[in-house]
Amino acid sequence: MSLLKKVVFLAFLLTPVFACTQNISATEANKHLGEQGTVCGRIAETKIAINARGTPTFIDFEKPYPNQTFTAVVWERDKSNVGTLPRIGVLCVTGTITDYHGRPEIILLSRSDWSAPQARLSNDNHYTNVDGQSVHSPAHSSGGIPAGATAQCADGTYSFSQHRQGTCSHHGGVAKWL
């Protein structure tokens, strides 16, 4: 079989797998119950239900309305397979969207079920802090809160400062600590 025929055949076999997965925003997940998809949204809150059987961790996505949210669930037995999830920023989870008490959710079973899109920064500048460590200079982010950011400055940039003193000093001061 020629290489071209092998590639076409492989693409044909894999097409149904890719066709069944779609990207869905956290606010639209409730419209896709029972479907396989990838849901992306900003992490609003992470909680561990220590008194619940199975000790699940709930990662709630942005809450545009008080009673509407999307939740990713990791059961204690699956935590080692899932790995460490980010606590802030944007998270994408893949699986079957189910309903639990009126809220859409996806249960994560392994590391391949989630990804944290990397935010692109407006610069790659660094400075040396008082401890002699190289720290990323404040920068705008294209994808939400970037990993390692400690504050958002008044001008919208994110600071990676490791000390509070002087943080965002040339960017209008600290708007909020992360």
Match 């989870």 to its residue by tokens. Answer: 93
User: Which residue would you say has higher pLDDT here, 142 or 122?
Assistant: 122
Q: Which two tokens stand for residue 120?
A: 């692109």
Query: Could you give the CA distance from residue 165 to residue 25 in angstroms, rounded to a whole number?
Result: 38
Query: Could you give the CA distance from residue 39 to residue 62 in angstroms, rounded to a whole number?
Result: 12
Q: Which domains does the chain have, with CATH numbers?
A: 21-115 (2.40.50.140), 118-178 (no CATH)
pLDDT, one tens digit per residue, over 127-169 is: 999 998 899 999 998 877 777 889 999 999 999 999 999 999 9
Match 């669930």 to its residue by tokens. Answer: 73
pLDDT band at 68 (very low <50, low <70, confident <90, very high): low
Query: Could you give the CA distance from residue 60 to residue 137 in angstroms, rounded to a whole number?
Result: 30
pLDDT band at 110 (very low <50, low <70, confident <90, very high): very high
Provide Rg for the chain, Cα atoms: 20
pLDDT band at 105 (very low <50, low <70, confident <90, very high): very high
pTM of the complete model: 0.57
- 85 has a pLDDT exceeding 90: no
